[in-house]
Structure formats: structure tokens, C-alpha cells
Amino acid sequence: MKRITFFSFSLILLACNTQPSNQLLQNRIDSLQTKLANTYKPGFGEFMSGIQIHHAKLWFAGQNQNWQLADFEVHEIQESLDDIKEYCTDRKETNEIGMIDAPIDSLNNAIAQKDLARFKNSYILLTNTCNQCHKATDHGFNVIKMPASPPFSNQEFSGSVKNPSVQVSDTTKAK
């Protein structure tokens, strides 16, 4: 019995001696905090550029009544707005982001109902609200408008292509 007690006590002492010290743990914490502070975080403008692309793609999806794509694009806008709220808390503009919620809800309803007329009105409301937000945050020089042409020439917005396949034309062949 004395041997078991001695052996157990020895193991406990050995375990205590191999644990890192408080200073070592604090050094690790400090190092990780420094690394975290220096990791890349997208800026407000990068989020807004992404939203602008989805805004344009949303228009062409809706115009073509590709409701699946429109639903995808409006949710991408919402994700970016949520990311701004999470990652750009130090920007005063973030406090105004909530004004966009009602137009997003209106678009979601129009898309769910597959109502083209309501979609157009909701999209105009979204665009106007973007511009109102820009004015409210001293960025009125940044005016958003209805897109005139698709932002990408390599995307089909109609959604009607049943079996998509890429064909090389004479203008895209390597020379």
C-alpha cells in the first residue's frame, strides 16, 4: 500500500512539473493575439465592391426571371451586409446599413412570388436606398444606378440553357 501511495504521489509531482508555467501560457496567448490582429480582414470598400457586382447580377437575373439566380444574388448581398456588421464595426457607415433591410425584404418577397413588376419596383427601391445611405454617410459622390449591361460576358442570366457546354469559337481559339 505504501508503494502505491508513493508511486501515485510521485506521478502527481512529475505531472505538475511538466505543465507549462503561467508565463509560458501567457506568451502563447500574446503570440496568438498578435497573429490574429495581423490577419487579413476585408475592408469596407471591398465588401461594397462585392455588393455592387451582386447588385448588377441581381438585376439581370430578375429581368430574365431566373428566380433561382436572383434569390442567390440577393442572399449574397445580405451575406456581405452581415459581414460588414461583423468585421467593420469601427466604421461609422456600418451604423447606417440597417436602412437596406426593408428593400432586401421587399426583393425577397418579389423573388419568392416570381413577380417581375414587384421585382423591378423593389430593385429600384434598393438602388435608391443605397444612394440614400451613401448620402447619409458623406459618400454621396458614389452614385449607384440601374445596370445597362451585364457585369460579366461569361455568365448566362436567362437560366434557360439546359445542357451547358463550352464551345471554342474562332475568336477564342489560341493563335
pLDDT at 74 over 50: yes
Fold classification of 44-136 is: Four Helix Bundle (Hemerythrin (Met), subunit A) (1.20.120)
Tens digits of residue pLDDT in 18-34: 556 788 888 888 888 88
- pTM of the full predicted structure? 0.74
Q: Find the radius of gyration of the CA atoms of the chain.
A: 27
Tens digits of residue pLDDT in 44-73: 999 999 999 999 999 999 999 999 999 999
pLDDT at 17 over 70: no
pLDDT at 128 over 70: yes
Q: What is the mean pLDDT of residues 145-150?
A: 93
Task: Kindly write down the DSSP assignment for every residue of 92-118, as one continuous string.
Answer: GGGGGGGGGHHHHHHHHHHHHHT-HHH
CA–CA dist 87, 41 (Å, integer): 7
Kindly report the average pLDDT of the chain as a whole number.
86
